[in-house]
Amino acid sequence: MAKNTSTISTTVRASLQLATIRLGFRVFGVLNPKPTLRAAGKLFSTPFRSSRARALAAPCGDARIEEITVDGKRIATYTWGDPRRQPYVLFAHGWSSHGTRFLPWVPRLRAEGYAVVAFDQPAHGRSTGEHATLPAFADTLLAVGARFGPAALLVAHSLGGAAASVALAHGLQADRVVLIAPAADPEAATERFATTIALPQRLWRALIRSFERHVGIAFDDLQAHRNAPCIARPALIVHDVEDREVPWSEGERYARYWPDSHLLSTRGLGHNRIAGDAGVIAAALRFAHGETVGDRVVSSPNLPYGFA
């Protein structure tokens, strides 16, 4: 009973906190838009505070924990096996997550002879920093790839999937790629964020422009349909049709524009459980061994897309 009461209490507090945030952005977005825009930008680029505590408390198994420096940030890396001597699998986590969230994959991969590398993005887990962005995610992934060399398989979840597509389009080396619930559209993600906090529409448009000025990259350059077509390696896109955080349609978009890719749709795994699901892990390993997994999604300027 105490546990249920605690859970209900936490849920109520979270609901009240969100209601307060929404009221503040709704009111001050009209009365004082410039400071409100700055506050929204800070919130947009700050991982959930509780996620770092969860990451630090999460088990690491027998990982070797080291650091590399990327853009002045200390980036924590986790290694199982020897990536210099063994083919290795590189993992990239999503927003407000951490590298060791992929620990359920490690025993199976090690049993099959792979080394494993994961890491914490800036402002996540054991890595330093207070804020992060999609370009920073991609730059850090590129740096980790440069440190450990070409991967046999890259597995990326959520925003990590978006970062993977950007990094691969800019030279990251991996023989095969698995994207799980990947975010495809940063503008749509910004709109979802703005809707969640009740930011007025004119301000979320301004938030996009402010972000573009800050990072020096246009949102359009981060879209899946801009980067996926130039990535010349096999990919498996895994997405749940009931995903409430990143719509299934965004995973489908990757499969539609990625030349050598297949889409595996699941049901009932949502956005987070899918990344550690035993069936998904098994499918990814079949794909890593060269099997065809999932459906081919076809598209052309003159032909509506569909499954081949």
Residue 162 sits in a domain whose CATH number is 3.40.50.1820
Would you say residue 22 lies in a domain? no
Pairing of strands 235-240, 261-266: parallel
Helix (H) or strand (E) holding 156: strand 151-157
First vs last Cα of the chain: how many Å apart?
52
| pLDDT band at residue 36 using 50, 70 and 90 as cut-offs | confident
User: Average pLDDT in the 219-245 region?
Assistant: 95
Q: How far is CA 131 from CA 124, 136, 137, 187, in A?
A: 9, 9, 11, 19
At residue 246, the 3 state secondary structure works out as coil
Range of the domain at 180: 32-307
Would you say residue 20 lies in a domain? no
Number of domains in the chain: 1
In the chain, alpha helices (H): 2-31, 33-44, 49-57, 106-111, 134-148, 159-169, 186-197, 201-215, 224-227, 248-257, 278-288
Would you say residue 218 lies in a domain? yes
CA-wise closest residue to 193 among 4, 18, 16, 14? 18
Which letter does DSSP use for residue 222 in this model? Answer: G
Would you say residue 48 lies in a domain? yes
Q: From CA 91, how far away is CA 66, in angstroms rounded?
A: 15
| pLDDT band at residue 7 using 50, 70 and 90 as cut-offs | very low
pTM of the complete model beyond 0.95: no
Would you say residue 250 lies in a domain? yes
At residue 200, the 3 state secondary structure works out as coil
Would you say residue 158 lies in a domain? yes
Which letter does DSSP use for residue 151 in this model? Answer: E
Radius of gyration of the chain measured on its C-alpha atoms: 20
| pLDDT band at residue 50 using 50, 70 and 90 as cut-offs | confident
User: Average pLDDT in the 214-226 region?
Assistant: 91
pLDDT reported for residue 28: 59
Would you say residue 196 lies in a domain? yes
The answer, yes or no, to whether residue 3 has pLDDT greater than 80, is no
The answer, yes or no, to whether residue 207 has pLDDT greater than 70, is yes
- Whether the Cβ atoms of residue 204 and residue 32 lie closer than 8 Å to each other: no
Tens-digit pLDDT profile for residues 126-182: 999 999 999 999 999 999 999 999 999 999 999 999 999 999 999 999 999 999 999
Would you say residue 15 lies in a domain? no
**Structure tokens that stand for 207 in this block:** 């938030």
